[in-house]
Amino acid sequence: MSDTRILSEDDLVGTFLAPLAAGFPGALGLKDDCALLAPTPGCELVLKTDPIVGGVHFLADDDPADIAWKALAVNVSDLAAKGATPRIYLMALSLPEAPERDWMARFAEGLGIAQRAFGIHLAGGDTDRTPGHLSIAITVIGEVPAGRMVRRATAAAGDALYVSGTLGDAALGLALRLDSGLGARLGIGVDEAAHARGRYLRPEPRVALAEALRTHARAAMDLSDGLMKDLGRMCRASGVGARVMVADLPLSSAVRRALAAEPARIRDVVAAGDDYEILAALSPAASTAFEADAQRAGVAVTRIGEVTSAREVHVLDAEGVPLPPGRTGWDHFQPR
C-alpha cells in the first residue's frame, strides 16, 4: 500500500499543490518560504481565516473534493459579504497520516474547481502531520477600492434587511445525511434531499453579489452561525435592533416540506449554521437598485425585515408572535 501514499512534503506540494498556484506569479511556484503580493494601487486588502476540522465541519469520509470546496468557500463567503474581490489564499493543511495519492488528487481537484468558481489562486501554505483530525486552515485575501469595505457595525435604524439565497438548507442537509430515514418521514423528494445535502457540502459564496453590496449596502456579513446569532452580532456591533418576519424568510422547497411536516424545525432555519448566505442592511431608498443589481448578478435576494432602534432582535411568526428564546445559534464554546 505504501506506494499509494505520499511520502514527502516536497512531493505533496510539488505534485498536487503547485499546479493550483500556477495562475499567481507571487506564489513563486510554492518553492519559496513566503508568497509575495503586489496590492492593486488604490485598493485595500480584506483578510479572513476560518479553518475547518474533520468531525466538526465535515465528516471524515466526505468526498475530499467536497471538503476542499467547503474549506475555501467558507472563507471566500466572508470576502463576498465585505464587498471584496477574492485574490489569493494560503492553506495550512494538517493531515492525520500521509495521504493516499488518490485522496490528495481528488482534494486538489476540488480546490481547483472552487478556485475557478471563486476567482482566487493558491499563493502559499504549509503541510503538516497532526495527531488529530484532518484540519484545513485557509486564509483568504481579497481587495476593495480604498475605504469601500462593507462593515458589520454600520447598520442603521430604519434600514431594510436582506438575505441572499435560501436559509436552512445546510442544516437540513446535514440532518438528512445523519438520518437516512428522515427524508421519507418529512416527505422530502429525492431531488430536494440532494439539493439540501449539496448545500451542506458545497456552500456557494456569493462572490457575484460583492459589487452590489459595495454599491448599496450600509452593513453586511455572511451567515455562518445562524441568522439569529449573526443578526444579533450585527445589531450589537451597530447599536441597533431588528425585526424579522419568519413568513418572509426565503426557503427552498425541501425546507418548506420539512417545516410542513415538523413546524419546530423552524429553529433550524433561523438558528442553525452553515448557510453561508449574506445578510445585508441598506437604506430602503436603495432597495430597488440593490434588487436590480443583485438580479443582474444572478443572486436572489429577499427582504426579510428591518433594522430598529430597540436594540433587540425579534423573529416574529405569521401571527406576529416572537419565536421562543432557546438555542439561538452556533457557538463552539457554549455547553449544549
Site residues for a second copy, window 161-180 (CB under 8 A)?
Answer: none
Scan residues 61-100 and list those touching a second copy (CB under 8 A): 78-79, 81-82, 84, 88, 90-92, 94, 98
Is residue 210 part of the contact set for a second copy (CB under 8 A)?
Answer: no
Scan residues 219-278 and list those touching a second copy (CB under 8 A): 221-222, 233, 237
Residue type, position 254, single letter: A
Is residue 33 part of the contact set for a second copy (CB under 8 A)?
Answer: yes
Q: Spell out the residues 6+ positions from residue 138 whose beta carbon is closer than 8 angstroms to its own.
A: 49, 50, 51, 71, 72, 75, 89, 90, 91, 92
Q: Spell out the residues 6+ positions from residue 63 whose beta carbon is closer than 8 angstroms to its own.
A: 106, 110, 201
Compare residues 94 and 115 and give the one whose CB is closer to a second copy.
Answer: 94
Among 17, 73, 76, 137, binds a second copy (CB under 8 A): 137
CA distance 187 to 177: 15
Stretch that binds a second copy, among 41-49, 256-264, 290-298, 314-322 (CB under 8 A): 41-49
* Radius of gyration of the CA atoms of the chain, in A: 21
Is residue 48 part of the contact set for a second copy (CB under 8 A)?
Answer: yes
Stretch that binds a second copy, among 16-24, 109-117, 130-138, 203-211 (CB under 8 A): 130-138
Is residue 131 part of the contact set for a second copy (CB under 8 A)?
Answer: yes
Is residue 333 part of the contact set for a second copy (CB under 8 A)?
Answer: yes
For residue 330, report the phi and psi dihedrals to the nearest 5 degrees: -80, 125
Compare residues 95 and 172 and give the one whose CB is closer to a second copy.
Answer: 95
User: How many other β-carbons are positioned within 10 Å of the β-carbon of residue 263?
Assistant: 10
Q: If residue 103 lies in a helix (H) or strand (E), which one and from where to where?
A: helix 101-118
Residue type, position 210, single letter: A
Please tell me the count of residues contacting a second copy according to CB under 8 A. 71
